[in-house]
Amino acid sequence: MINKKLFYDLEWHDAKISRMVVNKEDRDNNGIFDIYVMWPNLEHSIVRFTDVHLLKLAMWMGVSDPATISGADLVNVDEDEDVKSVYKYWKSMGGFKLSERTLSGVEIETFSTQETIKIVAQNMELIDL
């Protein structure tokens, strides 16, 4: 489960996304999603989500400016349909033990183009650049 304190201590508002990388090569971790961020204090980091079970992107391509984040939030896992669908999917696969309460859902939105990033993952870490 994503550490709420780490997540909410980040200054998401006005941070800029410069790059995103999806890595599906590590089968033991289901998938890794990296967001390269420049924070309002001009520091750079990678926000790395591991054990990613679902990733949804609604983004406009061809916009040359970095996407500026308007907000980021953890979703209520008991009510979120995407989180529920991940649990339902893995339960239907049989034998896979994805225990309840191990996933977190994250929603990130941007200002100008109103892009949305939705991530359902087990872990998040911050890598300073």
Question: Which three-class secondary structure state does DSSP give residue 91?
Answer: helix
From 27, 25, 20, select the one nearest 110 (Cα to Cα): 20
Whole-model pTM: value is 0.90
For 13-72, write each residue's pLDDT tens digit. 999 999 999 999 877 767 999 999 999 999 999 999 999 999 999 988 777 677 899 999
Which residues span the domain enclosing 120? 4-128
> How many structural domains is the chain composed of?
1
